[in-house]
Amino acid sequence: MDKVTEKSVKQQEEMKKNPGKYPEYLFPPHTIGGQTKGFSVVEATSDQIVNGVMYWRPELKLKYMPIIESAKSIEQYLKSK
């Protein structure tokens, strides 16, 4: 926990100096009560995701799950038929 806290402070400083290097938080990191798991909602390019994953290795295991607008998903589905 100490290492993660230390890295978090350093990353926040780096994000101010180099905006756009890491994913942009739309909903900041939150922990799930009583667990060592958490989540956040970010907007990111592929490069930003790679930078974030590489920064947090090996302390955290990050998993990105895309959130897609339903109307766009349905539109793409219908085009693929």
pLDDT value for 34: 83
Task: Note the helical H segments in the chain.
Answer: 2-17, 46-56, 70-80
pLDDT value for 36: 83
The structural domain count of the chain equals: 1
Q: What is the pLDDT of residues 21-50, one digit of tens each?
A: 999 999 999 999 888 889 999 999 999 999
In whole angstroms, what is the distance from residue 41 CA to residue 60 CA?
16
In whole angstroms, what is the distance from residue 24 CA to residue 9 CA?
16
In whole angstroms, what is the distance from residue 64 CA to residue 48 CA?
12
| Domain boundaries, position 12 | 2-80
